[in-house]
Amino acid sequence: MSETNEAQRLVAELNALLRLKTTVTAMKMYETVAEMEAIPRIRRPKAKHTTDQIVSMASRLGWTVGITAADLVGNQCQAVIGLAPQDEEWRRGEKYVGVWHGTQPDAQARQEALEVVPHGRFQAMAVSPMESGRIPDPDICLVYATPGQMIILINGLQYRNYRKFEWSVVGETACADSWGRALKTGEPSLSLPCYAERRYGGVPDEEMLMALKPADLRIASEGMKALAKNGLRYPIPPYGIQNDPSMGMGISYAKS
């Protein structure tokens, strides 16, 4: 099976299992601009944007978009994905004082808490609907989902080879909790999209964001299919807050 067909099948499974409203998105970093610009049907911005807007062009408009540091509105967006240095000026975070933080030490503490891609290796980034297959072998994929959908996705990841997930909330610049962390560490990374992601990227109130490698998304899908066979699936039907849960739990745990 071709890589495109495999991506299409995986996305179809996710949509069937979770009833997602937002397009699953592929993201990849490139060491040269030429590699990024060679992607089929790639769009290049004609104005400055935030990374949140670029991601949403793929996840909400279905576009394939490539950027360099020059396409992003400021060094915060650039630095999170390693397209600008995380230097002393960036680390001090003085422009956030009186906006997001009361003092410069507060702003610096937030900057130092961000998980970011090290600067120096990459020159470009691209996003595209995963099912299009236009980005072969993406570094990570992005799944926007409601809390109810997200916990089933997490349960799928934990069905076999269980591990406890611990995620951070940095506050503003929450993209460092999602794609910044996933690109840096390769680990599934959950975030509460921040003010900027919602204001500029159009992320609705009810959505959270999971960034993870395609291999982990396949693991999650297989786990969710197993859970569904056990009757544990999305949407989660309310049982009734005043009902005796014995019958429902008896069905779920009858094997044990």
Distance CA 89, CA 128 (A): 32
Task: Spell out the domain ranges in the chain.
Answer: 3-237
Distance CA 216, CA 95 (A): 37
Q: Are 67 and 125 in contact (CB under 8 A)?
A: yes
Q: Say what the pLDDT of residue 1 is.
A: 58
What are the tens digits of pLDDT across the range 110-140? 999 999 999 999 999 999 999 999 999 999 9
pTM: 0.95
Distance CA 161, CA 184 (A): 22
What are the tens digits of pLDDT across the range 146-190? 999 999 999 999 999 999 999 999 999 999 999 999 999 999 999
- Confidence check: pLDDT of 68 > 60: yes
Q: Say what the pLDDT of residue 9 is.
A: 96
What pLDDT band is residue 2 in, cutting at 50, 70 and 90? confident
- Confidence check: pLDDT of 4 > 90: no
Q: What share of the chain is helix, strand, coil (3-state, %, to 5)?
A: 45, 15, 45
- Confidence check: pLDDT of 256 > 80: no
Element (H, E) at 16: helix 3-18
What are the tens digits of pLDDT across the range 212-255? 999 999 999 999 999 999 999 999 999 999 999 998 898 888 76
